[in-house]
Amino acid sequence: MTERPRQTEGQNAPVFRFAPSPNGRLHLGHALSALLNAEMAEKMGGRLLLRIEDIDLTRCTPELEAAVLDDLTWLGIPFERPVRRQSEHFPLYREALDRLKAMGLVYPAFLSRGEVKARVSAFEREGGPWPRDPDGAPLYPTEERALSESERAERMATAERYAWRLDIDKAQRLIGERLSWQETGDGQRGEIAADPGAWGDVVLWRSDAPSSYHLAVTVDDAAQGVTHVVRGLDLFHATSVHRLLQRLLDLPQPVYHHHRLILGPDGRKLSKSLGDTALSALRAEGRTPSDIRAMVGI
């Protein structure tokens, strides 16, 4: 693999990043994202970083990470070295969590997925629809916000696992203003009003899986000086949570560009299990990087 020298010109050059999770092989959707990042970085004279989002230590493996790097190199994505690996920065995310804890904005949450599901079904049988997040998942019940310090300590000592969740209402009250972000992507554009409340009390940390996507992505974009986040429209609404975390942690805000998604034959978003759109499979069939560009419409 050829090493591209670190670009040193212009401290103020725009910084882009492609941030795949190595929990499966890259598919055409990832190719579109990586190629767009590379294209936009080149057009703007910017840098392109690669971040391996491997906080899920059970699903992400070194073999899959090596395969991701291999696919991207084959595709000709000119990312800088060294590559940042989230699994090497858990203390940084922990620091951010501790700041939010000191602000009184997070609480330990003990309900399992099954318990939440049972709660929601019981509620919905009585008539009312339970509120759902933009991805359609039921919002986490909020009653554990009110547990006393001693109740929390007692339950944390005995619980098999628990999660630190953000009290979204308290966080929004503390900010006291409507947040927004600058969007240049394929959906709505311009100044987008953030609505973090739509997600309810999001998980920031799990006792058995350190850091959540939301916390790690927000902390890392700032740590890496990312100025332009280019990613799929499936993460458009999640940006509301990232904006709130940026504001709470005094982090700079990048410009966002959420691009169209490549859909499967069934009209659904591609997943890593869709073998025939995996770059490795297409490559084995004899497709070239320029075929891939054509297939994703670049």
Site of interaction with ligand GLU (CB under 6 A): 19-21, 53, 217, 231, 235
User: Quick one: 108 or 232, whose CB is closer to ligand GLU?
Assistant: 232
Q: How far is the CB of 184 from ligand GLU (least distance, A)?
A: 15
SS3 246: helix
Q: Tell me phi and psi for residue 263, to 5 degrees.
A: -100, 150
Q: How far is the CB of 276 from ligand GLU (least distance, A)?
A: 19
Q: How far is the CB of 86 from ligand GLU (least distance, A)?
A: 9
d(CA 72, CA 271): 18
User: Quick one: 231 or 237, whose CB is closer to ligand GLU?
Assistant: 231
User: How far is CA 188 from each of CA 41, 95, 128, rounded to the nearest angstrom?
Assistant: 22, 34, 31
d(CA 227, CA 256): 9
User: Quick one: 19 or 32, whose CB is closer to ligand GLU?
Assistant: 19
Q: How far is the CB of 263 from ligand GLU (least distance, A)?
A: 16
Q: What does DSSP assign to residue 79?
A: -
User: Quick one: 53 or 201, whose CB is closer to ligand GLU?
Assistant: 53
- In the block, residue with structure tokens 């190595």: 22
Q: Return the structure tokens found at 14.
A: 């725009």
Q: How far is the CB of 262 from ligand GLU (least distance, A)?
A: 13
Q: Return the structure tokens found at 19.
A: 């941030």
Please give the biggest Cα pair distance in the chain. Answer: 63
d(CA 184, CA 187): 8
User: Quick one: 49 or 163, whose CB is closer to ligand GLU?
Assistant: 49
| Cβ atoms within 10 Å of 173's Cβ, excluding its own | 10
Q: How far is the CB of 272 from ligand GLU (least distance, A)?
A: 9
User: Quick one: 120 or 192, whose CB is closer to ligand GLU?
Assistant: 192
